Structure formats: C-alpha cells, structure tokens
Amino acid sequence: MGAMTAFLLMYAAGLWAFFPLFAVLLLTMLATRWRAERKSSLGVAEREGGRNARQVLANLGGAGLCALAAAAFPRQSTLLMVGAIAVLAEAAADTVSSELGQALSAQPRLILGFGPVPPGTNGAISLEGTFAGCIAAALVAWSAALAGVVSWQWTPIISLAGVVGMLFDSFLGASFENRGDMGNDSVNFVSTIFAADLALVATLLLRQRLH
C-alpha cells in the first residue's frame, strides 16, 4: 500500500514527490522508537510487525486519491497536490503527537472536557504531543515545497490543515471511537480526508482572492 501511494504521488508530480512521503515515514519511525521502553511498560507501544495494509491505506489512501485526481485533471494538479500533502501532514502529525505524547507526557487529558485519562486512551492529548504534531506537520509541508511538489506559499495552509486534522482525529477518537461507533482505521481515514478538504477549500479561496 505504501508503494502504491508512492507510485501515484510520483506519477502525478514527478520523482521528487517521494520526498515528503519519505519525510512522513522517517518522522513516524523515529517517533515510534523514541522511548519505546516506556511505552512498552505502559502497554501502549505499537505491536510488533508494524502496520498492516489496511492501516497504511487509512493513513495514506487520501494522498493517493488526490494524486490520482491530479494526474487525471492536470489543470487542477497544483490544487490537488496541496490536498495530497495535507493528508501526509495530518498522518505525520497524528502519529508523532500520539507517540511522543505517550513517551513524554505524565498526564494526558481527553480532548472533550480535558479530564485526566490513562496514556493511550482514544482522544487523549497532551501539550508535548500536540507541539510535536505541529512540528511534524510543518516539516512535511516544507519537505514537499523543498522538493517542488507544492509552492512555498501553500505550506502554511498545509501545516494548519494537518494540525486541525490531528485534533479532529482526537475528537473522533474521544467520541465515536470510544463509543464503538467507529474503528481506528475509520477515524484515521476520515481525519486525513478532513485535512485534505480543509486544505483544498482554503487554497481555492485564497487563489480566487489573489486573482
């Protein structure tokens, strides 16, 4: 699934489109391994063997869809690639915030009501994790601009969309996932699509205003 997403990104925007995807993989790998012993002792470490195809699709599938649309409609490729990178930014922000929050935070709180909850609770957030997620989203946006996949002027929108998507993921986890109405893969997919839609709408409105 990861290779398919990479192929679609490179098909739509050239070989350098692999660079922001590599940034996501690197950031999430480092965050997952950071203080892995503490996360194992808390019982929140990622299972051995990594993620399966369905989990990868839930996190990166939206980027592939945007890239496929960009290839099919080249006149709108600039706009659609902003949506694709917003998906990657949200995926990186969500994973990094969760992993580093669990590794560093002494007392996470539920995003709804901000009551204290155990580490690993769906919808739990922390100052440390949220800050790390913001940095991750920005790094992915910058890597895409550095590779020439998107213009530098769209990086703030991509970063913001990634962060808002990350918080939306926590909201869905605290509400629908905790009630059993949604699974984790569904929450991840909806959150990435939300980030892509937010970036697409914001970019479209800003482009119209500039023109």
Tell if the pTM clears 0.85, that is, is over it.
yes
Instruction: Decide: helix, strand or coil at residue 124.
Output: strand
pLDDT of residue 35: 67
At residue 211 the predicted structure's pLDDT band, cuts being 50, 70 and 90, is: low
Domain ranges of the chain: 2-210
Please name every residue paired with 124 in a beta bridge, in sequence order, or none if there are none.
Answer: 110
Q: 180 is written with which tokens?
A: 């059993």
Q: What is the pLDDT of residues 2-60, one digit of tens each?
A: 888 899 999 999 999 999 999 999 999 998 888 667 656 655 556 555 678 888 888 99
Contacts of residue 77, Cβ cutoff 8 Å, sequence gap at least 6: 12, 13, 70, 71
Q: What angle do CA 158, 27, 14 make, to 5 degrees?
A: 60
pLDDT of residue 164: 98
pLDDT of residue 201: 96
Compute CA 183 distance to the chain's CA centroid, rounded to the nearest angstrom. Answer: 17
pLDDT of residue 55: 87
Type of residue found at 71: A
Report yes or no: 194 and 163 within 8 Å, Cβ to Cβ. Answer: no
pLDDT of residue 209: 82
Residue 143 pLDDT > 80? yes
Q: In terms of pLDDT, which residue wins out, 120 or 187? A: 187
Mean pLDDT along residues 142-162: 96
Q: What is the pLDDT of residues 172-210, one digit of tens each?
A: 999 999 999 999 999 999 999 999 999 999 999 998 887
Mean pLDDT along residues 84-101: 94
Tell me the C-alpha to C-alpha distance, in Å, between residue 179 and each of 27, 96, 115, 123: 30, 24, 17, 12
The overall average pLDDT reported for the chain is 90
At residue 69 the predicted structure's pLDDT band, cuts being 50, 70 and 90, is: very high
